[in-house]
């Protein structure tokens, strides 16, 4: 026997059927769509974890805004599994497609946008192969500023292919279409509208489409919904409490830095400092901010020998140096992505943060600090090169 009665009303909604469900007791109604369609997307293979998080936000905002306008209610966004990322080098964790729930609180993300994990879709499809109706492979126009002007546009082109599907062999596609594209992501609805019968669509090179709403309230609503998986937060907080002697999210016991090396140091030599200069810049920042702080947390992808050299320099300058070295068991459990997030969480709780110029890893830490409520002057700081110009980082402050 039901606690409340449900009235079901079928409404004509565009070409699809939607179901209005009303609870008699509290008079509230909501619409449910009976016919779901799915947008998949993928990102240029060499792109890293933190740019991919930004590309997700573009799609999630596009979907959320479409829902809010009351149109296209049937569309869901399929989260592309994390697979074979170039920077994720731990041999034990290669070649395993990981769902977003390994790193994020997907329920919280669903509160912002209609998303599904790929494995949910496989379950719904009762493990039959998923056949994508059309893959649109986005490509850049040869000249983005024709006649000196950036105009939003797309055109069908040629010379592309797609060999993704994240290692799964139960996904196939009927057709691949190459599209030269430039403009905001919501322009993709024009492509989707070309074939109204399509139920599964994939956009390859999703990173080519630009944000509809960078830095706006909607952007931050989406960003705030991207909470981390609880286990990662717990691991980071354990570390902070044990070594950095703090049990809140706004610590005044340590400063943190993100010291991006590897490919970044190789390709962007003019933006990254030497080891000696890194140590001196940390000392200068601490003197300026709060000279009582003597603990420094370092998040880095540097080789352990460089990290030790930096530690030696900082020790000579009077600092205690901390970094998180995951055990084998931690790597198995959290994977490279989780280890990176633990580093990011520890950086985000610190009294003061210095990041690496134009690293999306540093950008995500800055956003996290904005969400936690740190003063922005303690967040938007960067390492400068040993010599030459050093622009201040842009301040992307939170909007509620
Ligand atoms: O995240 P990401 O896109 O940031 O790529 P950038 C860097 C990857 O390197 C991270 C590892 O996802 C991590 O796997 N990594 C970097 C770190 N710093 C740290 C750290 O402090 N701790 C841990 N645990 N891992 C861009 C790339 O990187 O750099 C582009 O997205 C390109 O593909 C460009 O390679 C040069 O924005 O810094």
The pTM (predicted TM-score) of the whole model is 0.91
Q: What pLDDT was estimated at residue 9? A: 33
Q: What pLDDT was estimated at residue 89? A: 83
Residue nearest to atom 5 of ligand 1 (CA): 48
108 and 227 Cβ atoms separated by less than 8 Å? yes
- For 390, the 3-state DSSP assignment is coil
pLDDT below 50 — which residues of the chain? 1-26, 32-34
Residue nearest to atom 12 of ligand 1 (CA): 49
Q: Which residues line ligand 1 (CB under 6 A)?
A: 46-51, 87-88, 258, 260, 263-264, 267, 299-301, 336, 339-340, 343, 359-361
**Of 69, 120, 95, 164, which is closest to residue 336 (Cα–Cα)?**
95
**Of 317, 336, 325, 320, which is closest to residue 275 (Cα–Cα)?**
317
ipTM of the complex: 0.98
205 and 137 Cβ atoms separated by less than 8 Å? yes
Question: How, if at all, do strands 134-139 and 352-354 pair?
Answer: unpaired
Q: What pLDDT was estimated at residue 17? A: 39
Ligand 1 atom nearest the C-alpha of 298 is: 21
Task: Say how many Å lie between the CA of residue 47 and the centre of ligand 1.
Answer: 9
The residue assigned the tokens 């546009």 is: 153
**For the chain, first and last CA: distance in Å?**
43
Mean pLDDT of the chain: 90
- Cα distances from 68 to residues 130, 218, 361, in angstroms, run 28, 11, 30
- Cα distances from 256 to residues 140, 161, 285, 366, 379, in angstroms, run 38, 43, 11, 12, 10
Report the length, in residues, of the chain.
400
Rounded Cα distance, 382 and 270, in Å? 13
Q: What pLDDT was estimated at residue 213? A: 85
Active site residues: 47
Ligand 1 atom nearest the C-alpha of 324 is: 24
Q: What pLDDT was estimated at residue 31? A: 53
Task: Say how many Å lie between the CA of residue 158 and the centre of ligand 1.
Answer: 32
Rounded Cα distance, 74 and 201, in Å? 13
Q: What pLDDT was estimated at residue 52? A: 98
**Of 62, 44, 18, 35, which is closest to residue 192 (Cα–Cα)?**
62
Q: What pLDDT was estimated at residue 21? A: 45
pLDDT digits (tens, 9 = 90+) for 224-243: 999 999 999 999 999 999 99
Ligand 1 atom nearest the C-alpha of 52 is: 3
Task: Say how many Å lie between the CA of residue 50 and the centre of ligand 1.
Answer: 7
């Amino acid at each position: 026997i039901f606690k409340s009665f449900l009235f079901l009303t079928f409404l004509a909604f565009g070409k699809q059927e939607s179901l209005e469900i009303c609870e008699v007791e509290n008079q509230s109604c909501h619409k449910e769509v009976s016919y779901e369609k799915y947008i998949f997307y993928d990102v240029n293979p060499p792109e890293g974890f933190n740019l991919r998080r930004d590309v997700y936000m573009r799609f999630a905002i596009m979907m959320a805004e479409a829902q809010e306008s009351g149109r296209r209610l049937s569309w869901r966004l399929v989260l592309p599994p994390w697979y074979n990322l170039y920077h994720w080098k731990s041999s034990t964790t290669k070649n395993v497609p990981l769902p977003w729930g390994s790193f994020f609180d997907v329920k919280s993300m669903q509160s912002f946008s209609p998303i599904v994990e790929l494995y949910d879709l496989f379950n719904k499809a009762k493990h039959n192969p998923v056949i994508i109706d059309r893959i649109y492979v986005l490509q850049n126009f040869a000249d983005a500023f024709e006649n000196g002007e950036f105009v939003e546009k797309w055109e069908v082109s040629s010379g592309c292919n797609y060999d993704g599907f994240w290692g799964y062999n139960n996904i196939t596609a009927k057709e691949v279409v190459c599209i030269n594209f430039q403009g905001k992501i919501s322009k993709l609805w024009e492509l989707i509208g070309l074939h109204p019968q399509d139920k599964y669509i994939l956009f390859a090179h999703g990173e080519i489409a630009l944000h509809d709403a960078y830095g706006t309230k909607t952007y931050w609503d989406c960003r705030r919904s991207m909470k981390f998986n609880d286990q990662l937060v717990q691991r980071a907080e354990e570390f902070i409490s044990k070594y950095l002697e703090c049990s809140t999210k706004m610590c005044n016991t340590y400063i943190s830095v993100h010291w991006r090396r590897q490919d970044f140091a190789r390709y962007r030599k003019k933006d990254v400092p030497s080891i000696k200069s890194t140590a001196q810049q940390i000392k200068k920042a601490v003197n300026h901010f709060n000279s009582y702080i003597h603990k420094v947390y370092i998040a880095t992808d540097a080789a352990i020998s460089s990290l030790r050299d930096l530690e030696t320099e900082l020790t000579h300058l009077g600092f205690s140096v901390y970094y998180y070295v995951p055990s084998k068991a931690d790597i198995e459990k959290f994977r490279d992505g989780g280890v990176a997030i633990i580093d990011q969480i520890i950086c985000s709780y610190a009294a003061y943060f210095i990041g690496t110029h134009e690293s999306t890893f540093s950008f995500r830490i800055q956003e996290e600090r904005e969400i936690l409520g740190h003063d922005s002057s303690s967040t938007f700081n960067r390492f400068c090169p040993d010599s030459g110009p050093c622009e201040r980082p842009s301040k992307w402050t939170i909007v509620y």
